[in-house]
Amino acid sequence: MNCTAPAAEPAPPVPDATQVLAVMERVADWQLVHPAANRPKDGWVQAAGYTGIMALAGISESPRFDEAMMKMGAENQWKPGSRVYHADDYCVVQTYAELSLRHHDATLIAPATERFDAILAHPTPVGREFNSPQRVINWWWCDALFMGPPAWLRVWKATGKQAYLDFAVENWWKTSDFLYDRDEHLYFRDATYFDKREANGKKIFWSRGNGWVMGGLVRVLQYLPADHPARPRLERQFREMAARIVALQQDDGFWRSSLLDPANYPAKEESGTGFFCYALTWGVNHGLLDRGTTLPVALKAWAAVGTCVEPDGRLIHVQPIGADPKKFDENATEPYGVGALLLAGSEIYRLARAPALAGGK
């Protein structure tokens, strides 16, 4: 049963690229001045924000965003987070690797390669066990697919070491085989949600959790070679999830915190919506998703996300850190919400710069 009503209004037009960039820069500038000092600089909360700032650095004429990320990396001594096997602590490596590629400086990823080589040498799982003593995986929560595989792919791109690419792909499918619901085409956050249900009796599928996965799919496909044997399967999963997400968008352009019980979580939620906007627009821009059915959804999502930006650039309506749908203060903000907006904006910007060329299906 589809839990969303038909769209009440047509999608907005493709926005002006200059205006998109202006919104992105205003949001990023606010975040850089207010850097969530209570969050570790090498932790996933900040690092997810850095992914968006790097996307902005790739389209802005100003060097300040690249410079801010170089400063951050130097302050972190270019080190991943401290937990060796925890995917959240690889997220920051995505930015180090992109900076290494941009500046042609391998020293920026030296600590990351040291960490990844240690994992390859000692790959014994230290994750949680679910359902049976034989079921042990490191990346046991769906968010890990945004944090981990894109980092390993980027370090592979920077070094050429095939083992990094192989590790990313292998562990994507371990997590997917564990958490992907093949009937719903959505991810459970982790195994503790397999048997839980929402107030309306539906399965619990968290918006941002599935946003993490969709964003992770994009960030893997960006670097995965076109002829890699895993690519058709990843693209198929991307299309499956995209079709389901499109069907679940609400009339105002948002996805609610709970994808299958939006009525019980009526508040706007920016972070899941931002990541879905990013993934859907990227799919249109790269010809993987049908332009006619997907683009209106992506544009409505971008317009919705824009309503979360305050005049000074502060981003609100971001669900706080958690693991499942929640009710929350509408003024809440976090760096990962900024990352979602900036990633989405980077693809909307490309769409706006060449709308006649973006997509083709």
Active-site residues: which are they?
143
- Alpha helices for 34-182 (secondary structure H): 44-57, 64-75, 91-103, 110-121, 144-147, 149-159, 162-179
Kindly state the tokens that stand for 133: 């003593």
Determine the Cα angle at 71 with ends 164 and 312, to 5°: 110
Kindly state the tokens that stand for 273: 């919506």
Half-sphere exposure of 338 (CA within 13 A, CB side): 31
Instruction: Identify the burial level of 183 via C-beta atoms within 10 angstroms of its C-beta, where 0-12 means exposed, 13-18 middle and 19 or more buried.
Output: exposed
Instruction: Identify the burial level of 1 via C-beta atoms within 10 angstroms of its C-beta, where 0-12 means exposed, 13-18 middle and 19 or more buried.
Output: exposed
Which residue spans within 123-242 are E strands per DSSP?
A: 128-129, 136-137, 180-181, 186-187
Closest CA to 178 of 218, 135, 214: 135
C-alpha torsion angle, residues 80, 81, 82, 85 (rounded to 10): -80
CB 309 within 8 A of CB 30: no
Q: Which residues pair with 181 in a beta bridge?
A: 186
Determine the Cα angle at 104 with ends 100 and 110, to 5°: 45
**234/217 Cα distance (integer angstroms):** 7
Residue whose structure tokens are 């300040």: 64
What's the start-to-end Cα distance of the chain, in Å?
A: 28
Look at residue 309 and give its three-state secondary structure.
Answer: strand
Q: How many CB atoms lie within 10 A of CB 117?
A: 13
Kindly state the tokens that stand for 221: 């496909």
